[in-house]
Amino acid sequence: GQQLNQSPQSMFIQEGEDVSMNCTSSSIFNTWLWYKQDPGEGPVLLIALYKAGELTSNGRLTAQFGITRKDSFLNISASIPSDVGIYFCAGQLINTGNQFYFGTGTSLTVIP
Amino acid sequence: GAVVSQHPSRVICKSGTSVKIECRSLDFQATTMFWYRQFPKKSLMLMATSNEGSKATYEQGVEKDKFLINHASLTLSTLTVTSAHPEDSSFYICSATRGGGSYGYTFGSGTRLTVV
């Protein structure tokens, strides 16, 4: 499968701080998705990006589809305790079936 | 919104037995379903793509005779882990889509399989 490198691997931040994480690949993607996963649960979609350069917000979350189509980032502003979890990027390759491949994940811990 | 139900949520089975996991799209017809496997503190690894009425497409390194996938209807896909062994213990998650990027992909809540 495809390798999507996500960084940082883990983050420990104070409540109220902003968070930034990114996902990079050597392949070109036509869609990027960002998910959050709580322990023992399936991932929940946060933001979907469909065009290179697209910048999309969902409340305190903002994500961008990189111009090169090989990367994406996710920002969380003014973090709160319930932001704790593992965040995954997922990319859909151009000219393939509808498969999505997942990044390595970023574990976020918010300290009250 | 789109809801995907996965059952069972947890299963413990004896080594050598087979286990079936169901993935249902409750309020939409899923043209494509995907099966993922996730090890503790690791990412989701795509195992196979399941299209209704056709054979599943397996990712490289995934044994199709070990992990049988059936997508008999537009609302149901099943994953059967045959002759399970302890190394098959994992978190299995399905996702479903109506097709086309604009519909997005909805995940089930996952199945924790423990083989003893």
As a whole number, the mean pLDDT across chain B is 90
Q: How far is CA A61 from CA A45, A56, A64, A70, B84, in A?
A: 12, 8, 10, 20, 41
- Nearest CA to B89 out of B62, B58, B109, B111 is that of B111
A98 and B102: CB-CB below 8 Å? no
- Of B6, B46, B99, nearest to A99 by CB-CB distance is B46
pLDDT band with cut points at 50, 70 and 90 for residue A39: confident
> CB under 8 Å to A20, separation ≥6 — which residues?
A73, A74, A75, A76
pLDDT tens digit string along A87-100? 999 998 766 666 78
For chain B, list residues whose CB is within 8 angstroms of any CB belonging to chain A: 4, 6, 32, 34, 36, 41-46, 49, 57, 59-60, 91, 93, 95, 97, 99, 101-102, 104-110, 112
Angle made by CA atoms B64, B69, B75, in degrees to the nearest 5? 160
Amino acid at A102: F
pLDDT tens digit string along B32-83? 899 999 988 888 999 999 888 888 999 999 999 999 999 888 899 999 999 9
Please report the DSSP string for B33-84 in residue order.
EEEEEE-TTS-EEEEEEEETTSPPEEPTT--TTTEEEEEEETTEEEEEE-S-
Q: With contact defined as beta carbons under 8 Å apart, do A21 and A29 qualify?
A: no
- Nearest CA to A72 out of A89, A51, A93 is that of A89
How many beta carbons lie within 10 A of that of residue A52, not counting itself?
16
